Chains A and B, each alone.
Chain A
Amino acid sequence: MGTFIQLVIDGLSTGSIYAALALAIVLVNQATGLINFAQGGMAVLSAYIAWALNGFGVPIVLAILGAIVVSFFLGALIERYLIRRFERGDPDTAVVVTIGLLTFITGLCAWIWTYNNRLFPSLFPLQTIQLGGAVISVRSLGTIVVIVVIMLLLQALFLGTKLGLALRAVAINPASAAFSGINVGRSLMVGWGLAAVLGAVAGVLVAPQLTLTPGMMDGALVYALAACILGGLSSPIGVVVAAWLIGVLENLAAVYIPFIGHDLKIAVPFILIFVVLIVRPQGLFGRKAVVRV
């Protein structure tokens, strides 16, 4: 029983990282209609910036905050000068652009900081606590709490503020939003900036555990995309639930299904996707898309 609880908590923790990245992807998709394959890469860059600031003597919490602020502006600038061109066109071309961006950012990190693994200081103490026979790390619990708080903040932003209203309006019908005086371009930049911030949070939370390296979030990106498919791209709550589900099931399968084991547990999200999509092509929580000719 103790093992089970441990696996679930750890699964929720890694699932939270996937959830943050998945939320970023959903945000970008709602705002600009494309899938950003570089979301994980941008998160890694944010983590490196925090690491570098820390290396210059900035205390880790301030370094992280600094990296988050920089990430916001990076995200906004990337939307304005790189992605804006491709928003009007075919989404598949836009995907290729984001793949190019991913390659470039990963390469940039490799050039500046090489492929060597870097140690990233942990925000949370490395202790464990006992809970019902299970040994749970403070880091896992902390990660879950941080992500839940972020989600609540996002909800508050979108449902309670004028900015959030504007972002939602732009996502639903950009022309109507513009006719009401909303600066659509600026809203798109803010959307990308927020997504970059979400990615940055995910990056700095997971870096202590995985050690910092240019390809650090590649795996998480795949899981996040899986969560988006499972949860449905139109449902933020859906993708978070899906991400948690993936994190937990992955851990459980690795231990309780010997055939899968730890090396093949990466197959779990894909099996889930396959099963769900056959039954419900729009994902667990999504809505059916209407295609206009």
Chain B
Amino acid sequence: MPSTAEFWSRPWVRWAGIGLIVVLMIVGPLILPEFANQTIARIGVFAVAVLGLNVVMGYTGQVSLGQIFFVGVGAYATAYGVNAGWNIVLVFVLACVVPAVLGLLVALAAARLGGLAIAMVTIALPIVGVPLAKRLSDFTGGSQGTSARFSDAPEWTGLYDDQWQLYLVFLIGGITFLLTRNLVRGKYGRAFAIVKGNEAVAASMGVSPYRYKVLAFTIASLIGGVSGFLYMVVIQYTSPETLHFGHSIELLASMVIGGAGSIIGSLLGGAWYVLLPQITNLIDPNITAMLQGAILLVVLFILPGGLVSLPRLWRRRGRGSVAGPGGGPVGGAMQADAAASVPGSSTVGDALGAPQTQSPPPPPTTQS
């Protein structure tokens, strides 16, 4: 009887699995009720946003508190283009390019600065973005926001609006996920991981941390823009509230809870982002933030790899390893181990006494 891992690695099983998923994606929207389709579509929108955040934070280890800003810019760009009557493909390109350019400019300036400075620069984006969005009312419709309807199902498809929108999300989101997956599994992904682990080591290997941080941040912004476009597809309205800083924190929490540095983790993160408030609203809306914070802390303590690492945990039960590969959700574990074994360097760990339990150093690779 083959073990679970062997079972899943057989080619025909994988193809069958993918085929099953594709079938579900085609048939699902047709049979599910409207509310389910809308919810799944929203999950798709924010899964893409979380994916973008993962590229710069989960894979490259840079704390970004501004991802929602790029989502908002993408949404606003979409709204503007649609209302100006431009071709929808052009609008999509705009929704990708404008945030990417902004992200590039920000990264070029910020990537040379230390960790706290980068975090501050990324905080600045949504915080300054909200009043800016209110000010530039010619572009943004001011505090009222703008709406843009362009995602009604065309006549020839015979579909309902929610079904059409969900297909669009599947298509565009799916392609984004596939492209990103290829990116992080290829040489760029390996470079990101090295930069995440230890920048000085990366530089000595000829991997320029500055270059790859800029690249990661630009890609994250671009993906954010895609998410913004999909946001308009599904929700059809955007306002300064979309850019609010609190959402950036929620995205971050969702990323960590779903699984930092993981493609599937991004999907789980998107689901968490959408479903948590829906569930807590049924109980008491005032507990949303508390639950969010509590679960985030629990994950960081006992499941640093996020929900996506649960199956691995199940498989490894009895072998004691809980930390996901790549160290914590952000940044390399290599630094901690290196510090502990260099005699003469003083860390808080030395002063608190030798740890009584062993913590095996995690291998420096990221999850799929």
Do A and B touch, yes or no (CB under 8 Å, in the complex)? Answer: yes
In contact, B200 and A229 (Cβ under 8 angstroms):
no
Partner of B256, one of A96, A105, A107, A177: A96
Give residues 253-275 of B contacting A (CB, 8 Å): 253, 256
In the complex, identify which listed stretch (B18-26, B79-87, B288-296) lies at the interface while the others stay far away.
Answer: B288-296
B215 CB to closest chain A CB (Å) equals: 19
In contact, B63 and A96 (Cβ under 8 angstroms):
yes
Q: Determine whether B51 belongs to the interface, using a CB cutoff of 8 Å to chain A.
A: no
Partner of A90, one of B124, B331, B348: B331
Q: Determine whether A222 belongs to the interface, using a CB cutoff of 8 Å to chain B.
A: yes
A101-B294 Cα distance, complex, nearest whole Å: 8
A149-B251 Cα distance, complex, nearest whole Å: 40
Q: In the complex, how many residue pairs between chain A and chain B have their CB atoms under 8 Å apart? A: 185
In contact, B351 and A178 (Cβ under 8 angstroms):
yes
Q: Determine whether B185 belongs to the interface, using a CB cutoff of 8 Å to chain A.
A: no
Partner of B348, one of A32, A263, A291, A292: A32
Q: Determine whether B40 belongs to the interface, using a CB cutoff of 8 Å to chain A.
A: no
In contact, B348 and A96 (Cβ under 8 angstroms):
no
Beta-carbon nearest neighbor of B330 in chain A: A92
In contact, A90 and B120 (Cβ under 8 angstroms):
no
A108-B113 Cα distance, complex, nearest whole Å: 34
In contact, B296 and A229 (Cβ under 8 angstroms):
no
Q: Determine whether A115 belongs to the interface, using a CB cutoff of 8 Å to chain B.
A: yes
In contact, B116 and A175 (Cβ under 8 angstroms):
no
Q: Main SS of chain B's interface residues?
A: helix
Partner of A229, one of B117, B132, B288: B117
Beta-carbon nearest neighbor of B252 in chain A: A99
In contact, A114 and B286 (Cβ under 8 angstroms):
yes
In contact, A111 and B131 (Cβ under 8 angstroms):
no
Taking CB atoms, residues of chain B closer than 8 Å to A266 are 127-128, 131
Q: Determine whether A95 belongs to the interface, using a CB cutoff of 8 Å to chain B.
A: yes
A93-B62 Cα distance, complex, nearest whole Å: 10
A96-B304 Cα distance, complex, nearest whole Å: 11
A245-B226 Cα distance, complex, nearest whole Å: 40
Beyond A263-B131, A266-B127, list 20 extra A-B contacts (CB 8 Å). Answer: A90-B327, A90-B328, A90-B330, A90-B333, A92-B330, A96-B63, A96-B328, A100-B293, A103-B249, A103-B253, A104-B289, A104-B293, A110-B290, A175-B350, A176-B346, A178-B352, A184-B352, A233-B116, A274-B121, A281-B112
Interface residues in chain B, defined as those with a beta carbon under 8 Å from any beta carbon in chain A:
61-63, 109, 112-117, 119-121, 123-124, 127-128, 131-132, 134-135, 198, 200-201, 204, 245-246, 249, 252-253, 256, 284, 286-294, 296-297, 300-301, 304, 327-333, 335-336, 339-340, 345-352
Interface residues in chain A, defined as those with a beta carbon under 8 Å from any beta carbon in chain B:
32-33, 35, 82, 84-93, 95-97, 99-108, 110-111, 114-115, 170, 173-178, 184-185, 188, 214-215, 218, 222, 225-226, 228-229, 233, 263-264, 266-267, 270, 273-274, 277-278, 281, 289, 291-293
- 11 CB-based A-B contacts, threshold 8 Å: A85-B301, A88-B349, A93-B328, A100-B293, A100-B297, A101-B293, A103-B249, A111-B286, A270-B124, A270-B127, A277-B117
The 6 closest A-B pairs by CB, nearest first: A104-B293, A107-B290, A107-B289, A103-B293, A174-B351, A90-B331
